[in-house]
Amino acid sequence: MTKHSDSPSQGAESLPSATDAEVQEVPVFAIVGHPNKGKSSLVATLTQNDSVAISRLSGTTIQCQEFPMVVDGKTCYRIIDTPGFQRARPLLQQLMTKSAHAGDRLQALKTMVAEADFPQFYPDEYQLLQPILDGAAIIYLVDGAKPYRPEYESEMQILQWTGQPRLAVINPIGGNQYVEQWQQALDQFFSRVHVFNPLESPFQESMQLLKVFSKIRQQWETPVNLAVSALISDREHRIQLAVEQVCQSCINILCYREAIEYDATPGHPVAFARYQNRLRAFENDSMQKVEALLRYYKISRQEDPLQLHQTDLMDADNWFVWGLDRKELVLMALGGGAASGAVIDVGLGGASLFTGALVGGLAATGTALIYSNNKLRQRFKTWLPGVSSEFRQTSTIGPVTNPLFAWAVLGRAIYHLELLLQRTHAQRAELPLDARAGFDLKNKLKLLSKSETRILSNWLNAKGSAGKMRLQLSKVQKTILKLL
């Protein structure tokens, strides 16, 4: 049996303690059923492990694989992913010839599985029955979008022969039109039946399913409930750490300065591109850290014109997809109404304020404007105060003090974190970081009071002062948590 484990959680709370009398064996659950019913997806979700192989092709799981759910170095429970039943009917028919009554069925099954040629004739059944005969409880998974057929009864009868506690889970993979039919059939073979979609069910529903598991074997009730408590505490702690990382990323991006060297040739797009790429690297590094905190190690993000890797992060046209119109963005940037020449520039005009060429002067098309016109050069000093108005051999670029850009940076980070919190570890699609897909910063901010919105606005309007931003971190982190 192959064993897999997740990276130990960092800083997570320990499993709640139990008295010596309460300490029990670690619960072990074997996920069994017909091929392509979502067994591996259920394993991935319950163990928060995105390395579990999942495929639409039958036979992805060819041997038992064990996945422990670990919190703070302690195993809460173990889940075993098994191959699907392939020859249940002939196996049951053969078993019936070896049993005289219900009292000897378990022994007849053990004897047959132990025969030398059993793995040759029933390779998949051999794999899935081994952990059950070793004591694992059974979680039988079916597809609620497909009609019930008598052939499944052979599988369920074989599982009955094991004598192990059994729970049935109906997975509405493609719909729930046959859930009621399955419910009626499964009630005849299993003490508990639960509907659960491992691809879409949120974290809270996963915890409810685990609580159901605690009922299928009495001695496991205490350890399973302790595990649920530990997992909830662990998640809350990881979310807190993720918000701290989001704030640190904003500080890194909004306060970054870089020394540059250049000759007298106007523009120097290479230097600005290098600075721009550095900001993108800060964001990408932060996203990877947030993903790891939430136990996502193999996630990929969707490439899209509005994506991080293909979109100019400094392009103001992309700010509007976060749900704020131009007027609202300006009001947010003003931090509650204080006039700011960096935001409202009558000389440049309201329309040109939101063009990509004017956002910090970081896009290649905008750098020439900085040096080609003295009037524009003076205006851009407000947006990039670190850029010298004189031609020198060395200077500094940054930070970007445009408060509208600051809102865009925070909006992207919150959207990314929200998508992760809504995602299960069974999902294998790329993370759709396209703001037009549903993220609305304006509606998000409605969750906050005016004073809380002002906290965020003042923080983002720190104009590149890392010290000022750090002083406000505690209040800002609490505010961001309310948006999730």
Q: Give a yes or no: residue 244 inside a domain.
A: no
Q: Give a yes or no: residue 237 inside a domain.
A: no
Strand ranges in 318-365 using DSSP code E only, listed in sequence order:
none
Preceding peptide of 8 cis, ω within 30°:
no
The angle subtended at Cα 274 by Cα 391 and Cα 388, nearest 5°, is: 25
**Residues 336 and 426 grouped into a single domain:** yes
CB atoms within 10 A of CB 279: 23
Q: Give a yes or no: residue 245 inside a domain.
A: no
**Residues 217 and 269 grouped into a single domain:** no
Domain span at residue 377 reads 255-482
Cβ neighbors of 289 (< 8 A, separation 6 or more) are: 245
Instruction: Residue 248: name the closest of 413, 378, 21 by CA.
Output: 413
Query: What are the average pLDDT values for consecutive 10-residue runs of the chain, which has 484 residues?
Result: 50 40 71 86 91 67 84 90 92 93 93 94 94 94 92 93 93 89 94 92 92 84 90 96 97 86 50 78 93 94 43 42 53 45 28 27 30 37 47 66 79 91 91 69 85 92 90 95 93
Q: Give a yes or no: residue 248 inside a domain.
A: no
Amino acid 30: pLDDT: 94
Q: Distance between CA 404 and CA 332 in Å, rounded? A: 8
Q: What are the tokens at 187?
A: 């009630």
Q: Give a yes or no: residue 406 inside a domain.
A: yes
**Residues 361 and 398 grouped into a single domain:** yes
Residue that terminates a domain, selected from 217, 232, 247? 232
Number of domains composing the chain: 2
Cβ neighbors of 81 (< 8 A, separation 6 or more) are: 31, 39, 40, 43, 52, 61, 64, 65, 66, 67
Q: Is the dihedral of CA 230, 236, 239, 240 positive or negative?
A: negative
Expressed in percent and rounded to 5, the helix, strand and coil fractions of the chain are 50, 10, 40
Amino acid 318: pLDDT: 46
CATH number, domain containing residue 100: 3.40.50.300
**Residues 225 and 366 grouped into a single domain:** no
Which CA distances in Å does 86 have to 2, 65, 382? 21, 18, 70
**Residues 176 and 261 grouped into a single domain:** no
Contacts by 108-111, CB closer than 8 A, 24 or more apart: 108/161, 109/133, 109/158, 109/161, 109/162
Q: Give a yes or no: residue 243 inside a domain.
A: no
**Residues 364 and 443 grouped into a single domain:** yes
**Residues 117 and 208 grouped into a single domain:** yes
**Residues 200 and 262 grouped into a single domain:** no
Q: Give a yes or no: residue 430 inside a domain.
A: yes
Amino acid 330: pLDDT: 56
**Residues 227 and 273 grouped into a single domain:** no
Amino acid 130: pLDDT: 94
Instruction: Please give the model's pTM, rounded to 2 decimal places.
Output: 0.78
Q: In what order do the strands lie in the sheet with 74-81?
A: 2-3, 65-71, 74-81, 28-33, 137-143, 166-171, 192-195
Instruction: Residue 427: name the closest of 46, 173, 36, 50 by CA.
Output: 50
**Residues 210 and 75 grouped into a single domain:** yes
Give first-to-last CA distance, the chain, whole Å.
Answer: 39
Residue that terminates a domain, selected from 190, 217, 232? 232
Side-chain-facing half-sphere of 412: CA atoms under 13 Å = 27
Q: Distance between CA 10 and CA 443 in Å, rounded? A: 33
Residue that terminates a domain, selected from 200, 232, 264? 232
**Residues 78 and 153 grouped into a single domain:** yes
Q: Give a yes or no: residue 363 inside a domain.
A: yes
Per the CB < 8 A criterion, the answer to whether 319 and 327 are in contact is: no
**Residues 276 and 318 grouped into a single domain:** yes
